[in-house]
Amino acid sequence: MMSFFRLLAQRMAQQGFLKLSFLDIDQVPAAGVMCFDYGNTLFLYNNGYNPQFGSLSPGFLSKVYSIKDSIEKGKLRYDLLKGEEGYKKRLGSSPVPLYHLKIDFDE
């Protein structure tokens, strides 16, 4: 999994889409978010936090700061992508229906 994330980060950085943000507490990394910046949208792909600071909700705060930064940079949309994690509701997002379409062509 680590090699997947490294390769993904490299490829997205090469395209100019990667945006990494970190939250430090007393110069110690407390949380980070990995986003993709494309057009007028910032897509939150993954995030993590240091359990040492768990009682301070650094994971949630890092997302809040990431959203704030995207607004300040003029982004029109912040996409939390699919999934029903509780933080998404706390951040005020609403689900967007996703559809899967399969077309079979008969000869």
Computed over every residue of the chain, the mean pLDDT equals 89
Share of the chain above pLDDT 70, in %: 97
Each domain of the chain, given as residue ranges in start order, spans 2-90
Distance (Å, rounded) from C-alpha 11 to C-alpha 18?
8
> Pick the residue with more confidence: 9 or 90?
9
Q: What is the pLDDT of residues 33-85, one digit of tens each?
A: 999 999 999 999 999 999 999 999 999 899 999 999 999 999 999 888 877 77
CA dist 64 and 46 (Å) reads 14
- Domain 2-90 indexed as CATH 3.40.50.300: no
